[in-house]
Amino acid sequence: MKFRYSNWASGMLKSNIAGFLTAAKEPGMLSLCPGVPFPAAYPTEKVVEITGSLIESNPEAIFPYGHPQGTLRCREAVAYRMKKRGADIKPENIVMTAGSQNACDMVMRMILDPGDTLIIEAPTFLGVLDSIKSWGLNLVEVPIDNDGIMTDVLREKLSQLHSEGIRPKAVYLMSNYHNPASIMLSTERRKELPGIAEEFDCYIIEDDAYSELQYDDVDQRAVKAYDTYDRVLYLGSFSKLVSPGFRVGWGVVPDELVDTWNICRPMFDVGSPQLNQEIVAELHRDNWLDGHIQKLIGGYRSRRDALLDALDEYMPDDVTWTKAHGGFYSWVTVPDNVDLDSLIKTALKNKVIYFTGNFFYLDNRHHNHLRLCYSRPDEDVIVEGVKRLAAALKEEMAK
């Protein structure tokens, strides 16, 4: 019997990711694929230390069904984090979620219907792209450059769509340490975006999952910090600051969405685990998490440097890459005539795996990019991975 899948699940089965993640687990394979923290990044001892007393001292905050917006202590902790990102946000406007993917899903569910138009960046985060591809949306790509989403093209696209009677509901974008492109929105564009949303009566969905993992002196203030129109729906996450397995993320929503959220969220998945939120809140006591983030930055910065140095040393001429100021990735551009399907086969033969760039575009078409992730492997493994990839590239470029 053939299982009768929904369009959504069928769409998901067409995604290439599963095959890549299986290949990454083969013995001897060096993986520059998944965006996950290095093992020593987890606050293991601190979590062991605080969890028992947290449960004993206030079981009522943990065991019953919770408020749809999440625990107040965790929302206060998020307000503190938002201040570090330049935005003064009240806990009343914060909604706790099971990671920022869940926040994104909820926010999109609340504003988008089949047939609606959503603007996305090209390239964009494949976790969101894959999950919404089969929703029946009209997805419109706007390119990015080194300064993030190209606001002049965005404006033109919005004007053109409006002239055709199409009114996009939202623009989904990343402001900091873009996944996959590892670029930052310029300050000028951050300031400009809320005004564009106001002019064209749409929302900006700002995905800022890597914020605070900043290795150089750059402006990482959220677009939300410049949002005088209440047009920015902000998505944040503790996945990279604490642990992805905790599933603690958040959204910042305008006053008028809060009551609707509190009605809608329980109907979706009842709510997010309270123990994890309370642990995250407790990690903020005496600013412990701020010190921990500084240690994370040290670990990621040295991995980033190892990757960039190895790319400099081993990559053939005509290959370029973005230099991450934070986050987990570098976006490599190879010459147009390199066949990406053939390259990945050669790379797998050399026992190194990365994500092929076309996954991050709407139509999966051929693009001359690779996403390399340096967050998990140790520095020597990163260098070896780049060496193997460079050898594969040289072999392909010689064909």
Ligand X SMILES: Cc1ncc(COP(=O)(O)O)c(C=O)c1O
Residue nearest to ligand X (CB): 99
What are the phi and psi torsion angles at 224 (to 5°)? -55, -30
Nearest to ligand X of 66, 251 (CB atom): 251
Is 237 a residue that touches ligand X (CB under 6 A)? yes
- 134: CB partners within 8 A, 6+ apart: 7, 8, 10, 11, 12
- Of 31, 66, 125, 389, the one binding ligand X (CB under 6 A) is 125
Residues 206-225 that bind ligand X (CB under 6 A): 207, 209
Nearest to ligand X of 99, 326 (CB atom): 99
Is 273 a residue that touches ligand X (CB under 6 A)? no
**DSSP 8-state class, residue 240:** T
Give the per-residue SS3 of 192-224: HHHHHHHHCCCEEEEECCCCCCECCCCCCCCHH
Q: How far apart are the first and last CA of the chain?
A: 46
Q: Is 51 buried (19+), middle (13-18) or exposed (0-12) by CB count in 10 A?
A: middle
Nearest to ligand X of 128, 310 (CB atom): 128
Return the C-alpha torsion angle 40, 43, 45, 50, nearest 10.
-170
The closest alpha carbon to 272, from 39, 47, 78, 14, belongs to 78
Q: Minimum CB separation from ligand X for residue 376, in Å?
A: 12
Q: Minimum CB separation from ligand X for residue 60, in Å?
A: 27
- Report the SS3 class of residue 46: helix
Residues 149-178 that bind ligand X (CB under 6 A): 174
Per-position x/- string for 298-337, each x denoting binding to ligand X as judged by CB under 6 A, each - no binding: ----------------------------------------
Q: Minimum CB separation from ligand X for residue 116, in Å?
A: 21
**DSSP string for residues in 303-330:** HHHHHHHHHHHHSPTT-EE---SBSSEE
Task: Enumerate the β-bridge partners of residue 143.
Answer: 122
H/E element holding 94? strand 94-97
Per-position x/- string for 243-262, each x denoting binding to ligand X as judged by CB under 6 A, each - no binding: -x----x-------------
Nearest to ligand X of 192, 207 (CB atom): 207
Rounded to an integer, what distance in angstroms lies between the CA atom of residue 227 and that of residue 118?
A: 20
Q: Which stretch binds ligand X (CB under 6 A): 86-94, 190-198, 237-245, 365-373?
A: 237-245
Q: Minimum CB separation from ligand X for residue 25, in Å?
A: 18
Is 123 a residue that touches ligand X (CB under 6 A)? no
Nearest to ligand X of 62, 242 (CB atom): 242
Nearest to ligand X of 127, 266 (CB atom): 127
Nearest to ligand X of 126, 382 (CB atom): 126
Nearest to ligand X of 221, 376 (CB atom): 376
Task: Enumerate the β-bridge partners of residue 370.
Answer: 332, 356
Rounded to an integer, what distance in angstroms lies between the CA atom of residue 289 and that of residue 280?
A: 9
How many chain residues interact with ligand X (CB under 6 A)?
A: 14
Return the C-alpha torsion angle 293, 298, 303, 304, nearest 10.
80
Nearest to ligand X of 117, 237 (CB atom): 237
Per-position x/- string for 68-107, each x denoting binding to ligand X as judged by CB under 6 A, each - no binding: -------------------------------xxx------
Q: Minimum CB separation from ligand X for residue 248, in Å?
A: 8
The footprint of ligand X (CB under 6 A) covers: 35, 99-101, 125, 127, 174, 179, 207, 209, 237, 239, 244, 249
